Amino acid sequence: MKDELRKIHTYFSFHMRNCIAMIAASVTLLAYKMTNDEQQIYDDVTEASFLLDLFDAGMGICFDHTFGIEPIFFNDDYDVEAFVQHFLEQCKNIMSEREIELVLNINNSCVTKGNSHELRIIINLIVYEMILKSGKSLSISLNKNCLTLSADTSFEEPLIWGTIKDVCKKRGISFIFSDKGCSLEFVV
């Protein structure tokens, strides 16, 4: 358990520190009147704050799982495509700055049941990681009840994906990953 906790802390600490650094650095530009593009600063700070919230919530889910806290089952309807689209909208600046071409292939809607708040966080963490791992192109497809994300380059397994896989399994979701991508199969 000690190793698991260390991995979770290392992963989330890294991402949260980058978000805080972004906010602090942006505010410095404003304070010293070193920018003419206040809208860009506002957008960057908003995005960093959104991601900070995601990482904090994601860390909570991973810690709870590692401590053996059983998930509380909800019966909310959640629309997988809507979650993905909303997150991509939030991350459009990151995608455009990294010049990542997004290939979306949504064949159907996928509405399933569960704890929508928790599932949104898990999906967002996975999509964010795939954005970071993609070189020039990220493919996202939704076919029946399976969400598949593929990068155009191979990558090292993110530190928390083993934990996320176990978290998903407890919730009846299959999370499979390789060095090129991953898929989530939801219960409908």
Interface with another protein by CB under 8 A: which residues? 10, 13-15, 17-18, 20-26, 28-29, 32, 34-35, 44, 93-94, 97-98, 155
Nearer to another protein, 4 or 81 (CB): 4
Nearer to another protein, 6 or 169 (CB): 6
In angstroms, give the least distance from the CB of 94 to another protein: 8
Nearer to another protein, 17 or 169 (CB): 17
Q: How far is CA 86 from CA 34, 80, 82, 83, in A?
A: 32, 10, 6, 5
Structure-token pair, residue 48:
């960093």
* Strand arrangement, sheet containing 146-151: 101-106, 137-143, 146-151, 181-185, 174-177
Nearer to another protein, 23 or 164 (CB): 23
**Nearest by Cα to 180 from 148, 158, 154:** 154
In angstroms, give the least distance from the CB of 57 to another protein: 19
Residue the block writes with tokens 């993905």: 84
In angstroms, give the least distance from the CB of 24 to another protein: 5
Nearer to another protein, 76 or 157 (CB): 157
Q: How far is CA 18 from CA 41, 141, 181, in A?
A: 16, 29, 24
- Which value, in Å, is the radius of gyration of the alpha carbons in the chain? 17
Using N-to-C axis directions, what is the helix angle for 161-170 and 38-66, rounded to 10°?
Answer: 60
In angstroms, give the least distance from the CB of 152 to another protein: 13
DSSP for 10-21 reads HHHHHHHHHHHH
In angstroms, give the least distance from the CB of 3 to another protein: 14
DSSP state of 35: -
